[in-house]
Structure 1
Amino acid sequence: MNRWVATIDLETLEVESDPSFKFKCVENCGKCCEELEIPLRDEDIAKIEELGYNAWEFVDYEKLFYRGDKFLGYALKKRPFDGACVFLDPETKRCRIYNHRPLACRLYPFIFVKHGKKMEIYVKEDSFCPGINHPEGEPITKEFLLREYGDVIEEYRRKVLG
Structure 2
Amino acid sequence: MSPFSFCFDSKACKDCGGKCCTGESGYIFASISELEKIALFLQIPFNDFLLRYVKKVGYRFSLIEKKINHEYACIFFDTEHQCCSIYEVRPKQCRDFPFWEIYLDEKNLPQLLKECKGVKRKEKPLE
| TM-score class, shorter | 0.5 to 0.7
In structure 2, what is the equivalent of residue 130 of structure 1? 117
Asked whether 1:102 is paired with 2:91, we answer yes
Report the TM-score when normalising by structure 1: 0.54
Name the counterpart of 1:23.
8
Contact 2:3 2:104 in 1 (8 A): no
Letter in 2 for 1:128: E
Which residues of structure 1 form unaligned runs of 5+? 1-14, 66-70, 113-120, 140-162
Higher helix share: 2
Aligned to 1:60: 55
Unpaired stretches in structure 2, ≥5 consecutive residues: none
Root-mean-square deviation (Å): 2.9
Partner amino acid for 1:49?
Answer: A
| Other-structure match for 1:88 | 77
Shift of 1:17: 4.7
Shift of 1:80: 2.9
Q: Secondary structure at the match of 1:110?
A: coil
Q: What SS class does the counterpart of residue 20 from structure 2 fall into?
A: helix
Distance 1:16 1:88 in 2: 29
SS at match of 1:22: strand
| Alpha-carbon distance between aligned partners in 1 of 2:89 and 2:51, rounded to the nearest angstrom | 17
Q: Deviations over 1:11-51 (max 9, x none)?
A: xxxx3556x62211322321111135211111111111112
Give the number of equivalent residue pairs.
Answer: 106
Worse overlay, 90-99 or 73-82: 73-82
1:33 aligns with 2:28: no
Residue identity (%) = 28
